[in-house]
Amino acid sequence: MGHRHAVADLRQALTGKRMFAPIDCSKSLLIISGNLDEAFSMAGQTAEADVDADIFHAFTSKITVVDIKNALTRRFKPEQVARFGNVHLIYASLRRAHFEEIIRRQLALVATTTSAAFDVDVTIDASVAEFVYRNGVFPVQGVRRPVLSTVGDIVDTNLVKYVFEALPTTCSRWPMAWTVRRPTSTSRS
């Protein structure tokens, strides 16, 4: 049974009069996806940005099928957990290098999109990527919300200002960097 045929059968069963007619799903793959915080004890530290991504990755790499089944029994009856079977795809959290690569790609996409739209060559310095990492990576929360929204909040909003300053000039290259100002130490004699 092909994908389109299976979907058509399911739609027909839902809309047709034969609501209780059996449908052969024996060759179907069922994927259940979700966050199972009970299996990941560090998942409760969602607001903690200081949890190192590599340490969290090492911790989540040790999660086993037994841990998953124990966590599932907190949400489902044992007979329901048994029906899930023993084939589970368990993904470890991302390492620091993974987050850095995602940030690098996202910044490159912002630079490319801006360059194509406004004919201004935007160069984003590595300091911006480091700033986004420090302020947007919460390893427990993943990528979509904290990391990508930080790129939008920090880079996109400031880039608009830079582009509007560059457009009336003859400037064709526009570098973007982040400078961290550290307080100077004062010594008392």
pLDDT tens series, the chain, 189 aa: 577 887 787 777 777 665 566 777 778 777 767 777 788 777 665 555 567 889 889 888 999 999 999 999 998 899 988 988 888 888 888 999 999 999 999 999 998 988 888 877 788 889 999 999 988 888 878 787 788 899 988 888 888 887 777 777 766 666 777 665 555 555 444
This prediction has a pTM of 0.69
CATH class held by domain 96-176: mainly alpha
Nearest-angstrom CA–CA distance, 138 and 155: 18
- Domain ranges for the chain: 1-30, 34-93, 96-176
CB 121, CB 172: distance < 8 Å: yes
